[in-house]
Amino acid sequence: MPPPRARTFVFESLAGFDDEALHTFLTPGDGGVDPRRLGVALHGADHDELAARVLRALPEQAAAAVAAARAEPSPSEAVEEARRHVVGRLFWALLYWHDPDGYEELVAGEHIHPGLLDSLDLDGRVVADLGAGAGRFTLFAARHAARVIAVDAVPALLQRLEQHARQQGLANIETRRGNFTHLPLGDASVDVAVACSSLASQAPWGGEEALREAQRIVRPGGELIVIWPDNPQWFIARGFVYRTVPDADQLSLHFDSIEAAERICREFYSEDAAGWVREHRAESVPFAVLGMRPPSDACVWRQADDRPT
């Protein structure tokens, strides 16, 4: 279910993506947009230009499914339903792209458990941060690692990351735009690849192809670490080991003020969570109240030492 804030976007917000982002976010997958419903959503001559861009951006088979669905007649309710589907599936991508400040405000209070971060061995390593966003993990890693290469699909977030790095005097970070399925990194080129609240179990936010690609860039004996995985069992079934910080149940999401806590809970979580803030007059909201696992776990995979490079 997309959060209530999804209502601030409309189907036409897709036109703001550049062609590379259309390709990244519209390539079909279990967690993504259904091509047939995308074709229905693109009905109407006023969407000709967006439709042409979408068709160019998509893989051949998906483009054919979009074009076929667009050519079939559809009642207006079906078109509206299809548009809601597309916006719902793309909510996070639309937020990163159109409102990076809103996204940063949300994650500013979402601290990865310090015990989990301290357990990572990054000293002197070359680290890739996959789906780095505005740098929540990159900025931490750069204080320990020799070098951090931060990859993300959204340039506006990488620009924020660069700005934070400058403000914090961190000169060992390099940002690169890239897609999880085509990382701009060579084979076995990093000691540690980390995906923090990013690479997920379903395309286009992750999935099998993205996992193989993340594993490709890790040197023999190196590690791929998925922090706060969406679906730990999916990673465990693919050879990852699950790690969690004990006694993290009390972890909370922190905000600057009670007003910000209430507004952000209402926009991103639920009216119940906002009600909890009002009742408790609290600037910190336990993850349990939000119905979420706290950011205190990771799935870790190790590249075999004898893997040929």
Ligand X SMILES: C[S@@+](CC[C@H](N)C(=O)[O-])C[C@H]1O[C@@H](n2cnc3c(N)ncnc32)[C@H](O)[C@@H]1O
Q: How far apart are CA 111 and CA 250, in angstroms?
A: 13
Window of 32-40, 46-54, 62-70, 129-137 that interacts with ligand X by CB under 6 A: 129-137
Q: Indicate the residue type of 292.
A: M
By the rule CB under 6 A, 205 interacts with ligand X: yes
In the three-class reduction of DSSP (H, G, I as helix; E, B as strand; rest coil), residue 167 is classed as: helix
Tokens of 89: 């599936």
Q: Long-range contacts of range 52-58, CB-CB < 8 Å, 24 or more positions apart?
A: 53/15, 53/19, 53/22, 54/14, 54/22, 54/26, 56/19, 57/19, 57/20, 57/22, 57/23, 57/26, 58/22, 58/23, 58/26, 58/27
- Cβ 296 to ligand X shortest distance, Å: 14
User: Rounded to the nearest whole angstrom, what is the least distance from the CB of residue 233 to ligand X in the complex?
Assistant: 20
Minimum distance from residue 177 beta carbon to ligand X (Å): 8
Q: How far is the CB of 221 from ligand X (least distance, A)?
A: 24
**H or E element, residue 7:** none
**Closest by CA position to 129, among listed 150, 114, 152, 105:** 150
With contact defined as beta carbons under 8 Å apart, do 300 and 240 qualify? yes
Pairing of strands 190-196, 173-177: unpaired
Binding mask 131-160 for ligand X (x = CB under 6 A): xxx--xx--------------xxx--x---
Q: How many residues bind ligand X (CB under 6 A)?
A: 19
Q: Is 204 in the site for ligand X (CB under 6 A)?
A: yes
Query: What are the beta bridge partners of residue 223?
Result: 192, 302
Indicate which single residue of 9, 96, 235, 268 sits in contact with ligand X (rule: CB under 6 A).
Answer: 96
- In the complex, the smallest distance separating the C-beta of residue 131 from ligand X, rounded to whole angstroms, is 3
Of 13, 74, 175, 179, which one interacts with ligand X (CB under 6 A)? 179
Q: Which helix (H) or strand (E) holds 136?
A: helix 136-141
* CA–CA distance, 184 with 194 (Å, rounded to integer): 15
| Closer of 69 and 162 to ligand X (Cβ) | 162
212-231 positions binding ligand X, by CB under 6 A: none
Nearest-CB residue for ligand X: 133
CB closer to ligand X out of 65 and 106: 106
Contact pattern from residue 181 through residue 200 relative to ligand X, giving x for each residue in contact according to CB under 6 A and a dash for the rest: ---------------xxx--
28 belongs to the binding site for ligand X (CB under 6 A): no
Q: Does 116 bind ligand X (CB under 6 A)?
A: no
- Write down the least CB distance from residue 91 to ligand X, Å: 12
> What's the CA gap between 112 and 107, in Å, rounded?
10
Binding segment (CB under 6 A) for ligand X, from list 55-63, 130-138, 165-173, 261-269: 130-138
Q: Is the Cβ–Cβ distance between 296 and 115 less than 8 Å?
A: yes
Shortest Å, Cβ 184 to ligand X: 10
DSSP 110-128: -PPPHHHHHTS--TT-EEE
Give residues in contact with ligand X (CB under 6 A): 24, 96, 107, 131-133, 136-137, 152-154, 157, 179-180, 196-198, 204-205
